[in-house]
Amino acid sequence: MKNLEPRAVWSIFDEITRVPRPSKREGRIVEWLVDFAVAHGLTYRRDAIGNVVILAPATRGMEDRPAVILQNHVDMVCECNSGLGFDFDRDPIETYVTPDGWVRARGTTLGADNGVGMAMALALLIDPAAPHPALEALFTVDEETGLTGAFGLGTDMISGSYLINLDSEDEGEVFIGCAGGVDTLAFFDYVLEPAPEGCRFFEIAVSGLLGGHSGDDIEKGRGNSNRILSRAISGWLSEGLRLATIDGGNVRNAIPREARAVVAVPEECEAEFVAWVERFDADVRAELAHSDSGVSVSLVEASAVDEVIDAQTVRRLMLALLGVPNGPQAMSFAMPGLVETSTNLASVKMVDGQIVVTTSQRSSVESAKWAAAEAVEAVFALAGARVEHSDGYPGWAPDPSSRLLELAEKAYLKLFDRPVKVRAIHAGLECGLFLEKYPHLEMISTGPTILGAHSPDERIEIATVDRAWRLLLEVVRTI
């Protein structure tokens, strides 16, 4: 990978993939950034929460230009295929180049979101041939699981007038707005009871789904493993099925790809249950044939367990998982083709005597975001769960009159002889929080093409990195 062009960008990204950087555990990548600054004679600032700003002075003749902020987050979503045994706190990402022009990771997320943006910013800081005004490369922590770094960013960390966020994933497009978001969590208390006699135990598993980003990919019709698993279980509760364990999805901002449960089925229903799961698997495959064709619902015998979850809690949980809103809820009339409001049934976990269901809501309309969260709360509350909302984060309202946008449009047309697409994105960027603290900022978001973000299918198109890099150079040169 480090031999690809532009070599400076790919070489730095290659180094970044070797540094563990899970969300909320970014200490090693923060220290790596500080070491990078020191090694290249650059000054830096670091705040108490872990955000880092690395500064580069203006090149000759550009000292009177406004300073430019290059912004990225340092953490990555840590998803791997089941059974891989990958340790994101220790193991380097294993990357490879495909014959059709992509860089991928073996069985895990790649971390191109937002590692390639980091590499572009760092490469520009040390490029002796690139003219630029004063640069402030801002690297924030914990973007993926709570925007903690952006929330905690001090008002004295940056001073530039223009901010270029390098965290978008569609080359040839410049983003000038994003959705706000909030998480809604439901907590079901349960009681363990002795497993009934005369039962056979099975593990039912949903796998093979594409998953993906719960904002960018939410309208693509992909299967939700938690929803599919709840369908499989619910239909058999009246036949005496008992639930022993359940585990689905992992992170709040990924469409869940896998889910599994251990169930106890009365012996007299065993043959019928096995045949029904086979039919259900075929039904789900047919439903998702055109959007998520790799789906599988499988059944294997499991070891006997001594205890199962009380039946009343399981019934309330399953009704809630079947009824809670999931997927796109409204499309934007202001920007045709943009999902305006959505919600994602992200994970179902058994934690310390509770079943915790995590969902996330997004909208480019603040009131609609909270309306979606309240709808999710209503379903869980009716099911008897305790419900909590996160603080949420604001969206970023588009500014089509921005001078920075005008410069980006002119630069793209000059470089590639075609207009750049100007869009808003149905995903959370940190820009809305920056604008609250620095209301004078003009901002755009850009980057190379990344597909499958937040899943082990994550990949980055090599040719688009060069185009994104050239666009960045031209924009900062002409500011």
170 is catalytic: no
Instruction: Say what angle helices 311-323 and 225-234 make with each other, to 10 degrees.
Output: 130
Nearest to 296 by CA among 251, 258, 349, 248: 258
Contact (CB, 8 A) for 425 and 179: yes
DSSP E strand stretches across 95-166: 95-97, 102-105, 135-140, 162-165
Contact (CB, 8 A) for 50 and 92: no
CATH classification number, 182-389, choose in 3.30.70.360, 3.90.79.10, 3.40.190.10, 3.40.50.2300: 3.30.70.360
Residue 391 burial by CB count (10 A; 0-12/13-18/19+): exposed, middle or buried?
Answer: exposed
With vertex at residue 101, the alpha carbon angle to CA 100 and CA 104, rounded to the nearest 5 degrees, is: 100
Contact (CB, 8 A) for 306 and 317: no
Residue intervals in the chain for CATH 3.30.70.360:
182-389
Tokens of 102: 């992509």
270 is catalytic: no
Tokens of 146: 């709570």
Give the CA radius of gyration of the chain.
24
CATH number belonging to domain 7-179+395-478: 3.40.630.10
Nearest to 190 by CA among 141, 246, 149, 228: 246
Catalytic residue, candidates 14, 26, 75, 461: 75
Catalytic residue, candidates 26, 143, 340, 458: 143
For 326, half-sphere exposure in the C-beta direction (CA atoms, 13 angstrom radius) is 25
Q: What is the pLDDT along the chain (479 residues), one digit of tens a residue?
A: 989 999 999 999 999 999 999 999 999 999 999 999 999 999 999 999 999 999 999 999 999 999 999 999 999 999 999 888 899 999 999 999 999 999 999 999 999 999 999 999 999 999 999 999 999 999 999 999 888 999 999 878 999 999 999 999 999 999 999 999 999 999 999 999 999 999 999 999 999 999 999 998 999 999 999 999 999 999 899 999 999 999 999 988 899 999 999 999 999 999 999 999 999 999 999 999 999 999 999 999 999 999 999 999 999 999 999 999 999 999 998 788 899 999 999 999 999 999 999 999 999 999 999 999 999 999 999 999 999 999 888 989 888 899 999 999 999 999 999 999 999 889 888 998 998 889 999 999 999 999 999 889 999 999 999 999 999 999 999 99
Instruction: Say what angle helices 112-125 and 462-478 make with each other, to 10 degrees.
Output: 40
Nearest to 117 by CA among 430, 439, 442: 430
Nearest to 230 by CA among 387, 352, 389, 345: 345
| Alpha-carbon torsion (323, 325, 327, 330), positive or negative | positive
- pTM exceeds 0.85 for this model: no
Residue intervals in the chain for CATH 3.40.630.10:
7-179+395-478
